[in-house]
A and B are shown apart, each in its own frame.
Chain A
Amino acid sequence: MSLLASIPFVDPLNLHAQWFLLLVPLALFVSMAYKAVRLPTLAGYWRQVGIMSTQIVVGMAMLGLVLYMLTQWILPMVLPMPGT
């Protein structure tokens, strides 16, 4: 087997720098399956999927922002670490 060969579904992808973009397909597929089970009727299905996907992505981004502010700004102000 070649050293360069990479087998899809067996070897991992090298997306270490773009990992956060993988939230988008995750949110989309979760919304598709969940809304297919949950909606009383399938009228307006894609609109509901779009809304739920957006809610997940925006919610996670906001959560990330809050945690960033907490760990980078607020905690260092409240509890200054020695040497910083």
Chain B
Amino acid sequence: MTPGARQPEPAGLDPAAGLVAFLFPGAGHMMRGQTRRGVYIAIGVLGLFLGGLLIGGLTVVDRKSPRLETRLSFYGQMFVGPVAIGADFVHQARFKGWDAQSRTRREALPGETIRNGNIEVATEGQRPPMRRSLGKMNEIGVLYALVAGMINFIAILDALFPTLRRQERDRVTTSGAIDAVLSGGGAKA
């Protein structure tokens, strides 16, 4: 390395912050006293994940999807934490029913409904509990949720291996209205 080149900053290890960061996006940084960073991470990650659900519906989080891309994407989405795992659990438990003909659990199609956990023919005016997203809406929704998981993976690593000097810098440099609100009147990180 040439003289004067930037050295990597020393990093620590904080397993508790890493675990908390996995349990809720941004919480690892908040736990380490970097509240403002944590709030921004939470808004970014949850905005992406909930945006994906809003765009593509619950279909975008499905670890047992008939589509290979959606099935594989779940393993990336999982890094959003219990929010993503819970969304998949609700999808499997509440919005899929047992199809006696194919002997599989699947979503109800138009003209069908789910009654007592079984897929049955819908009566007049009934619709399936959820509509599957198709085409671009599905692809974009899956992408949003997947990117949320990948970005949170970076945030988890950052909380797990924190840059030791950053906390001190944040304390010195942050100021302004957002900091005042987040820190309850004071201007700290």
State the A residues within 8 Å of B (CB). Answer: 1-3, 5-16, 19, 22, 25-26, 29-37, 40-43, 45
Contacts and interface: CB of A to CB of B under 8 A. Distances in A.
A11 B130 contact: yes
Contact of B138 (A2, A12, A14, A43): A12
30 contacts: A1-B127, A3-B127, A5-B127, A6-B131, A7-B130, A9-B53, A10-B95, A11-B130, A12-B57, A12-B141, A15-B137, A19-B140, A22-B144, A25-B47, A26-B143, A29-B43, A29-B45, A29-B47, A32-B40, A33-B40, A33-B43, A33-B152, A33-B154, A37-B155, A37-B158, A40-B163, A40-B166, A42-B40, A43-B174, A45-B40
Interface in B137-151: 137-138, 140-141, 143-144, 147-148, 151
A34 B47 CA distance: 13
Interface of B: 25-26, 29, 36-37, 40-41, 43-45, 47-48, 50-51, 53-59, 95, 125-127, 129-138, 140-141, 143-144, 147-148, 151-152, 154-155, 158, 163, 166, 169-170, 173-174, 189
Chain A at the B interface: mostly helix, strand, loop or mixed?
loop
B170 A13 contact: no
A42 B55 contact: no
A4 B2 CA distance: 67
B44 A36 contact: yes
A8 B132 CA distance: 13
A32 B151 CA distance: 10
A3 B58 CA distance: 18
A33 B141 contact: no
Given A25-B51, A42-B36, A16 B127 contact: no
Chain B at the A interface: mostly helix, strand, loop or mixed?
helix
Contacts of A8: 54
Residue with the greatest number of chain B CB neighbours at <10 A, chosen from A7, A8, A10? A10
A66 to B, nearest CB: 21
Given A13-B137, A26-B48, A26-B147, A36 B40 contact: yes
Given A33-B45, A34-B44, A11 B125 contact: no
A20 to B, nearest CB: 9
A31 B59 CA distance: 26
B136 to A, nearest CB: 4
B156 to A, nearest CB: 10
Given A3-B125, A12-B137, A15-B55, 9 more contacts: A10-B58, A13-B54, A29-B148, A30-B48, A34-B151, A37-B155, A41-B166, A42-B40, A43-B174
